[in-house]
Structure 1
Amino acid sequence: MTTPPRLEVRNLSRSFDGRAVVDDVSLTIQPGQVTCLLGPSGCGKSTTLRIIAGVELQDAGEIHVDGDLICDTVYRVPAERRRIGLMFQDFALFPHLTVAQNVAFGLSGSAAENRARVEAMLDRVDLRRFIDAWPHELSGGEQQRVALARALAPRPRIMLMDEPFSGLDNRLRDDIRDTTLTILKDEGTAVLLVTHEPDEAMRMADEIALMRHGRIVQQGAPYNIYNAPIDKQAVAFFSDINVIRGVVRGALTDTPFGQFLAPGIPDGQEVEIVIRPQHLKIDFDRNGQGPLPTAQDGTPARGVVSRARFMGNESLVEFRMDHDGSTIKATVPNVFLPSPGKPLWLTIRRDRCFVFPVGD
């Protein structure tokens, strides 16, 4: 017999004032799996989380935990009985309770059992020494780890996390995310993480559900979402993009960078060829004459440097292209800061381009 997923959401919908905020959302999460709801602000991520948590009612759809129905439009298990943990951007620690009392807040065992669980969870987040401290005596990162310990202390089957790390500085955020991920995996907790930051989703998620206008438009492993995006907006959500337009003739599109395949797109259809800056190649050997390009790199096209900036581990160079005056961005490893006005030849990695019909 097949084991049901820890969390299964079926066709969830919710509207406010006639506007669909959550529109037919479905997803499944297994024990120990981290799924990220990724999308821009206002796309319905937090509302989806609130419905699963039981603090918001859906207009349609069902929620199942370990195969059991916990909520539809008629039947509803109260939020406090769902064994679902919550973590939000604000740590929401009780200022009048000690660290130990905060972590023990959701526990229902004996005093001895609760104390043992509190100590065990504080050991996991390396804060045992602060067991009798007050929240105001802790740093932001320490407060976040206490919030994690409190959320996990009752052994929730599912953890819902809504932008939980956005209030931390970058260096601390990485440390706390890694600690959190390790503990959640060890506990076998199914995690649904909401974020609008692609880097966070790529770092933490086993699966990403890309959300837009209340709907999940693409779902899969981070590698697949990044390397096989469904449309131009999906590419742009993860990185800067360059866009070159062309028209399909015989499943090919002519551009200043050579011909690009456009399989399955009818003749006469205008398309957008989308490429990330890191997949443009500067042809340093060409200088207008050099060797012929490879089939993979296509035809070189000339541009003039408009500006260059060092970004830490790479340089971002912007070009004004000779063929149409458009701006194209390229990233180059390490330090490369050519002077404005310098002409250079560029090629495009054909195997790293995405071709989408205009209007899709």
Structure 2
Amino acid sequence: MGLTPPRLELEHVSRVYDGQRVVDDVSLSLAPGQVTCLLGPSGCGKSTTLRIAAGVEGPSSGVVRIDGQVVADGTLTLPPEQRNVGLMFQDFALFPHLDVAGNIAFGLSVPKAEKAARVRDLLTRVGLTGYERKYPHQLSGGEQQRVALARALAPRPRVLLMDEPFSGLDNRLRDDVRDATLDILKEEGTAVLLVTHEPEEAMRMADQIALMRAGRIVQVGAPYNIYNTPVDKDAAGFFSDINVLHSSVKDRQASTPFGRFLTPGLVDDADVEIIFRPQHLHLDFDRKDGPPRETPERGSPARGHVLRARFIGNQSLVEFEMEQDRSVIRATIPGVFLPPKGTPLWLSLRRDRCFVFPCAHQTKVSSPFERDYPPHSA
């Protein structure tokens, strides 16, 4: 038996408007039951890619397949109703003149008894049993979102396409609705392509994240992998705050206040950036017996002075000016930690959570280095 084809496949898809490529050579595949988040900043081409997958518009070039069948190839474009895809958008787009049951049943071409059974089943699964005769204006935002989900799933689509469907909900409700939606989608076994600009939403919902920038997909992977092995500085910074140390290469190494880092593949005098996240810094008090010891895990400690410290909920954000080069470094510390301005502290960082990238005018990107650095020389 042959391998099951991807449920949805985009192959070298581009879309040109007025000579500008808003979608540029995008290739992506979704397996049955897989949730893929198309993640990126506003205006990067996410929604256009979703519309091409839906059949709302066609690609300028490239191929779209559903279950191995070509549904668009630059000349042919099957409309959405012939693709067996479900659509969900930001505004839910419920019909105000239809009650909840009528909204869910709209477009179902099955016998009346089967239609009624499908509506009842979906209302139970989205937690809205007894809401059949309510109208959209009588529902809360979260309830409207669940009705929209039930309507999109009613025809049992092979692919569900979702364009920022939770953006209209407040934060607390959004988390609950997202979790409930994910449970239902997994039960249905539908391939899902979800467009979002929120990294937290993508990390919470996705089996696979496709990070998009300026019309191109720059990295695809599982949430853990894409977070911990970013392809470049911008990819790392999209998921969280980052610290950036600037240096240049000499003898395949870059010197920083935290010691030297290997720079494989880069020539002498190449400019590099060492990237690490605030939560990966470790702090030690300035004791009379000198600085903390250098270790393979944390490298050389460097001393900084507190510029400001703020409590931001479940952690504290502390900013330092480093003694060696006056660079500003941010650290996040669990709980309450608010040292006075000017307090000297020693900082060290996890070497296995650092990344070395060439500056933008260079092309070679090194791998993250784990426990792979030469001893620091004073």
> TM-score with structure 1 length normalisation?
0.98
Question: Map of 1:91-170 to 2, 5 A cutoff?
Answer: 91-170=92-171
Range that drifts further, 345-354 or 212-221: 345-354
Range that drifts further, 275-284 or 154-163: 275-284
- Name the counterpart of 1:199: 200
Which residue type is aligned with residue 294 of structure 2? P
CA distance in 2 between counterparts of 1:254 and 1:288 reads 25
Range that drifts further, 120-129 or 258-267: 258-267
Deviations 1:274-333 (A, max 9, x none): 110001111236467144221221222111111111122211101122222221100011
Q: Specify the SS of the correspondent of 2:261.
A: strand
Range that drifts further, 227-236 or 344-353: 344-353
Shift of 1:251: 2.0
Does the 8 Å CA contact 2:284/2:292 hold for their aligned counterparts? no
- Counting matched residue pairs gives 360
Question: Map of 1:201-350 to 2, 5 A cutoff?
Answer: 201-284=202-285, 286=287, 289-350=290-351
CA distance in 2 between counterparts of 1:191 and 1:122 reads 20
Q: Percent identity?
A: 66
Which residue type is aligned with residue 90 of structure 2? Q
CA distance in 2 between counterparts of 1:287 and 1:253 reads 30
Which residue type is aligned with residue 346 of structure 2? W
CA distance in 1 between counterparts of 2:102 and 2:213 reads 40
- For structure 2, which runs of at least 5 residues remain unmatched after alignment? 363-378
CA distance in 2 between counterparts of 1:308 and 1:107 reads 58
CA distance in 1 between counterparts of 2:192 and 2:285 reads 47
Does the 8 Å CA contact 2:88/2:163 hold for their aligned counterparts? yes
Shift of 1:76: 2.1
Does the 8 Å CA contact 2:310/2:317 hold for their aligned counterparts? yes
Does the 8 Å CA contact 2:206/2:223 hold for their aligned counterparts? yes
Matched, 1:11 2:12: yes
CA distance in 2 between counterparts of 1:324 and 1:338 reads 22
Range that drifts further, 297-306 or 124-133: 297-306
CA distance in 2 between counterparts of 1:200 and 1:240 reads 16
CA distance in 1 between counterparts of 2:288 and 2:63 reads 62
- For structure 1, which runs of at least 5 residues remain unmatched after alignment? none
Does the 8 Å CA contact 1:287/1:345 hold for their aligned counterparts? no
CA distance in 1 between counterparts of 2:183 and 2:286 reads 47
Distance 1:347 1:287, change over 3 A: farther
Distance 1:147 1:302, change over 3 A: same
Does the 8 Å CA contact 1:288/1:345 hold for their aligned counterparts? no
CA distance in 1 between counterparts of 2:66 and 2:359 reads 41
Q: Specify the SS of the correspondent of 2:116.
A: helix
Say what the alpha-carbon RMSD is for the aligned residues: 1.2
CA distance in 1 between counterparts of 2:286 and 2:147 reads 57
The list of structure 1 runs, each at least 4 consecutive aligned residues, that deviate by more than 4 angstroms after superposition, is: 285-288
Does the 8 Å CA contact 1:286/1:345 hold for their aligned counterparts? no
Matched, 1:353 2:354: yes
Matched, 1:80 2:84: no
CA distance in 1 between counterparts of 2:348 and 2:50 reads 44
Q: Specify the SS of the correspondent of 2:59.
A: coil
